[in-house]
């Protein structure tokens, strides 16, 4: 059974850097075809894909946020970390991590972390 759990601060100040950690179990990020992605959802709005890291350490980012995002993995700890710099109130959202399977879908999701950006 695949499980993912995101963790990180629920409140950050404008201009600060957000660091979110996804701790997972039930799969290995060394398995071919597998990835872990981050998706966010502002209150009352649609899902927005942010970043994804593949089993071979290939990384993809949303073009509109690429300059602010960094995604890394620690296979031995079963963790994926996302950092987002220069946070702004418009970045207030629920941030989800999710398992990407070989079909390219996100078939298991973490519970989500609501991050509020406010001074």
Partner 1 sequence: QSVLTQPPSVSGAPGQRVTISCTGGSSNIGAGYDVHWYQQLPGTAPKVLNQGNTNRPSGVPDRFSGSKSGTSASLAISGLQAEDEADYYCQSFDISLSGYVFGTGTKVTVL
Provide the binding-site residues for partner 1, judged by CB under 8 A. 37, 39, 46-49, 52, 60-63, 96, 101, 103-107, 109-112
Residue 28 C-beta: closest distance to partner 1, Å? 20
Specify the residue, 73 or 100, whose C-beta has the smaller distance to partner 1: 100
Specify the residue, 16 or 54, whose C-beta has the smaller distance to partner 1: 54
Contact assessment for residue 19 and residue 82, using Cβ atoms and an 8 Å cutoff: yes
Residue 15 C-beta: closest distance to partner 1, Å? 26
User: What is the rounded CA–CA span in Å between residue 111 and residue 119?
Assistant: 26
Residue 110 C-beta: closest distance to partner 1, Å? 7
Specify the residue, 16 or 65, whose C-beta has the smaller distance to partner 1: 65
50 burial class (0-12, 13-18, 19+ CB within 10 angstroms)? buried
User: What six digits make up the tokens of 95?
Assistant: 């941030």
19 beta partners: 83
Radius of gyration of the chain (CA): 13
Residue 76 C-beta: closest distance to partner 1, Å? 26
Residues, the chain: 119
Specify the residue, 21 or 60, whose C-beta has the smaller distance to partner 1: 60
């Amino acid at each position: 059974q695949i499980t993912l759990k995101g963790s990180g601060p629920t409140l950050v100040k404008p201009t600060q850097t957000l660091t979110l950690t996804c701790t997972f179990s039930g799969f290995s990020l060394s398995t071919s075809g597998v990835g872990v992605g981050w998706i966010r959802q502002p209150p009352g709005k649609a899902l927005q894909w942010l970043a994804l890291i593949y089993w071979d350490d290939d990384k993809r980012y949303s073009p509109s946020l690429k300059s602010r995002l960094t995604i890394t993995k620690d296979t031995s700890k079963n963790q994926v970390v996302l950092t987002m710099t220069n946070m702004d109130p418009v970045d207030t959202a629920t941030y989800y991590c999710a398992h990407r399977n070989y079909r390219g879908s996100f078939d298991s999701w973490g519970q989500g972390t609501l991050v509020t950006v406010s001074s």
